[in-house]
Structure 1
Amino acid sequence: MPRYDFRCRACGATFEVNRPMTAAADPASCPAGHDDTVKLLSTVAVAGRGGSASAPAGGGGCCGGACGCG
């Protein structure tokens, strides 16, 4: 089940809520009972085999190297 991060605007607490994706946009109360919360954007890290984040060999870059950016 996906986990969503929220922050309470009243007390500043950050907390997690596990809920189905169909309920992702539903409001959540903080553990202290405040209802003024905001859903935080979460980041997802994806690693390929070997866990290296380097660019493929041979240049390439964003446009195959034709613009000199790679």
Structure 2
Amino acid sequence: MPRYEYRCRSCGDTFELSRPMSESAAPAECPAGHADTVKLLSTVAVGGSSPAPASSGGGCCGGGCCG
């Protein structure tokens, strides 16, 4: 389930909520009980166990064509 970050306009607290994508725009109450919150834009971190793609050795600087 995605996590969304919110900031409370009343107290300035920043908090996260796990909720379905269909509820991402729904109002969120801060942990202190305030209702005046705004959803923050945040970077997406995608985790996985796949290794990085192997380099094919092509290109000028990677392929050795530069003299």
Q: Which runs of structure 1 show a deviation greater than 3 angstroms over 4 or more consecutive aligned residues?
A: 45-48
Q: Percent identity at matched positions?
A: 66
1:1-70 equivalent positions in 2, closer than 5 A: 1-45=1-45, 49=52, 58=59
User: Residues 34 and 42 from structure 1, CA distance in 2 versus in 1: closer, same or farther, beyond 3 angstroms?
Assistant: same
Aligned partner letter, 1:15: F
Output the aligned Cα RMSD.
Answer: 2.2
Q: State the shift of 1:46 in Å.
A: 5.8
**Larger Cα Rg: Structure 1 or Structure 2?**
2
Supply the distance in 1 between the matched residues of 2:2 and 2:46 (Cα, whole angstroms): 16
Aligned residues: 53
Residue 49 of structure 1: SS of its match in structure 2? coil
TM-score by length of 1: 0.65
Give the CA deviation at 1:44.
1.9
Give the structure-2-normalised TM-score: 0.68
